[in-house]
Amino acid sequence: MRSESEMSNNSTNQQNNYPQPYPPQFADDEIDLRELWHAVWSRKWSIVLITALVMSVALVYALNQKNYYKAQVVLASAQGEGKSAGLAAQFGGLASLAGINIGGGGASDTGTAIAILQSRKFGERFIQENNLKPVLFADSWDKNKQAWIAKSPSVLASIKNIVSPASNEATPGYQRESLAPNEPSLWNAYKRFKGIVSVAEDKKSGFITLSVEFIDPVLAAKWATQMVKDINAQMKEQSLTEAQRSNAYLEQQLKKTSLAEVKQSIYQMMEANIKTMMLANTSEDVVFKTIDPAVVPEEKSKPKRALIMAVAMVLGLMLGIFWALIRNVINKEPDGLKE
């Protein structure tokens, strides 16, 4: 028979083996969903007010944004890459010795044309030839007086001039652009023009899409069409110049050599240059062929006001709930002060 003391000790040991409840200091760390819901629901009108305030600001912003329209041109390469590659394989060595590029040995004319379209030189030339400054900076141009409007500098611009004043000293070898009073520079015009023009190439199909996004849909379509004409004209002129220079060099080399095989190769290269000049003179689509021409868009591309309002509503709700939870923590009495 066990004594009562031994039985009491055994019962005490068994109780000690059972999991003990969390200490009181950690019991309040558990998340009480009912408490969170009560904190949010008790301040529901404040959350609604914050959400409405954020949506009102977003609505004012969305309504003040101008509508932009995107005109697109779908292009395809007009180059005969197979014939060019075959010619390069046959006479590539001789042409390289003569310093002549007959194609197929590097970047194609299509890749070169895309790079030119995206270049600063082409953009600035397009702006100057079409007199786009008054259109790009319409808020600074007075149509009636045909003059630029003088604007007072913003606070940020004034601070910037104080911190780092612009130097009026001309850089040696650099000629500054001649500007009318208050006229924006060509540099700033290109920065704005670059933001409305984009060129994308589909690597699988090989099609190129030229997009112009502007507040005037008619001008957007007009500029997209004109840019394709300009790049074809520029590549045509470049192709003719290179072919003529190549033939002039080949004629000189023809007079210096007496080998029949070399003469035959030179004649064939000259024939290829003549064909290039004939194709360039008989076709306007030298490098790009228009598959889908630009049309005046009827639907705006941006701003997406419905999306702006949806994001504003979600953001307003999140801010309102966050504020309600913070207020609940601040107003909650510390446990140590409870009686």
Tens-digit pLDDT string for the chain (339 aa): 455 555 555 555 555 554 555 455 444 545 577 877 887 888 889 889 999 999 999 999 999 999 999 999 999 987 654 444 444 444 444 544 444 444 443 346 788 888 999 999 999 999 999 999 999 998 889 888 888 988 766 666 667 666 655 555 555 555 677 888 888 899 999 999 999 999 998 888 889 999 999 999 999 999 999 999 999 888 888 888 888 888 888 888 777 777 778 778 877 888 887 877 777 777 777 788 889 999 999 999 988 999 999 999 999 999 998 888 888 888 775 554 444
pLDDT at 190: 93
Determine the residue type at 84.
S
pLDDT at 315: 94
> Any idea which fold 69-143+184-240+284-292 has?
Bacterial polysaccharide co-polymerase-like (3.30.1890)
CA angle 27-32-37, nearest 5°?
Answer: 160
pLDDT at 230: 92
pLDDT at 194: 92
Number of residues written out for the chain: 339
Burial of residue 254 (CB within 10 Å: 0-12, 13-18, 19+) is middle
Cα-Cα-Cα-Cα dihedral of 141, 146, 148, 150, to 10°? -100
* Phi, psi for 50 (deg, rounded to 5): -65, -40
pLDDT at 154: 62
Is-contact 210 75, C-beta < 8 A? yes
pLDDT at 182: 85
* Phi, psi for 100 (deg, rounded to 5): -115, 135
Is-contact 150 143, C-beta < 8 A? no
Q: Is the pTM of this model over 0.75?
A: no
d(CA 71, CA 49): 41
The answer to whether the peptide bond before residue 297 is cis (omega within 30 degrees of 0) is no
150 token code pair: 């003088």
Is-contact 279 209, C-beta < 8 A? no
Helix residue ranges, H only, the chain: 4-17, 24-27, 33-42, 44-64, 81-98, 109-117, 120-129, 133-136, 155-163, 186-194, 217-256, 260-282, 305-331
d(CA 260, CA 262): 6
